[in-house]
Structure 1
């Protein structure tokens, strides 16, 4: 099989190549397996892979998940992957998330400045940037059918037993780095959560046979 060389930014590639999926527990791998199965089934059927990462405010964990998932699809050369994010309510992408991603090599520009800023988030030289902003899960920006809804926080998981249009609803929850806002550990803890999400999504996409 001929593979296209990834155009990921070098700094992001360096971060990815230091990730260690062996740190993921067997219990956690069981949590990730339904997402692996969803992606693999779409690859085998040669269908588009749509994944909507959902948390309450669409401000932290869902964006980190969306961006790392799109990046890992590029890294592993899995085609036709389209990642989205949404919340049970719209707030704003938290600035520390943007800073954390920039520290890992993402190129981020502010397209629109208001109470809910819009960002261009680039992970590769020749790929379309991810458009990052806070939105409700059923926003017109997001898919309406044939997608997997990934519940990245327990509050959204409990509060949204049904996601309209979702083909699969998969809880993969992460602890909220918001707990450390305005503390000396804020930068460290956001980076820690970002790298956890990156490591788990690295594992997910590494399991796909394309």
Structure 2
């Protein structure tokens, strides 16, 4: 992994999560991943939020990175929304500052990004899409709801083997304020710490 990214990871305090309630929410995801790993199956994770523009992309990238860091096999991380918009540019900027190498591969209204945590690993592909977009798995995946609006607005996710609500506050609240950079960085690290906690619990 890239040195700056490893420095960021070393600052994550994933063993000291805030509450038992939060650990309980994350345990459902731990159990899903562990069962797949134990039985040698593919681990498909689809992180879902309303616009697939901020939190779901942070979660997609950090989940794939955590799986690689802990050498958990057969993990594929995806993201989607209840509607298609675009990956918010501040997300790419934040991930770059935290050590990822981020490349915009198309320059359209909904650009596609390649997000790399290591030179020799496949990039995470980031772009906004509906959760049932053909890019994403159609069955045997966990639908991880990263915002309460998507959780309440999507009572049914076709093909999902398990639905897991793990919601985060939207960093969008800081847009157009002096605190934007700080808020996006903090939200990214919060999501990272929780997903590193999940993958740290997996026994191979």
TM-score w.r.t. structure 2 length?
0.98
Shift of 1:10: 1.5
- Cα distance per residue 1:21-50 (max 9 Å; x no partner): 214321110110100000000011000000
- Cα distance per residue 1:107-163 (max 9 Å; x no partner): 011100111011111111211111110000000000000000000000000011110
1:17 aligns with 2:10: yes
1:55 aligns with 2:49: yes
Matched residue SS, 1:89: coil
Map 1:2-151 onto structure 2 (within 5 A): 8-21=1-14, 22-151=16-145
Which aligned segments of 4 or more residues in structure 1 are displaced greater than 6 angstroms?
Answer: none
RMSD, matched Cα: 0.6
Unaligned regions of 5+ residues in structure 2, if any? none
Shift of 1:207: 0.4
Q: Partners in 1 of 2:6 and 2:167 — Cα distance?
A: 25
Matched residue SS, 1:86: strand
- Preserved contact between residue 42 and residue 74 of structure 2 (Cα < 8 Å): yes
Unaligned regions of 5+ residues in structure 1, if any? 1-7
Q: Partners in 2 of 1:147 and 1:118 — Cα distance?
A: 23
Q: Partners in 1 of 2:40 and 2:192 — Cα distance?
A: 25
- Preserved contact between residue 17 and residue 23 of structure 2 (Cα < 8 Å): no
- Preserved contact between residue 17 and residue 194 of structure 2 (Cα < 8 Å): no
TM-score w.r.t. structure 1 length?
0.95
State the aligned residue count. Answer: 203
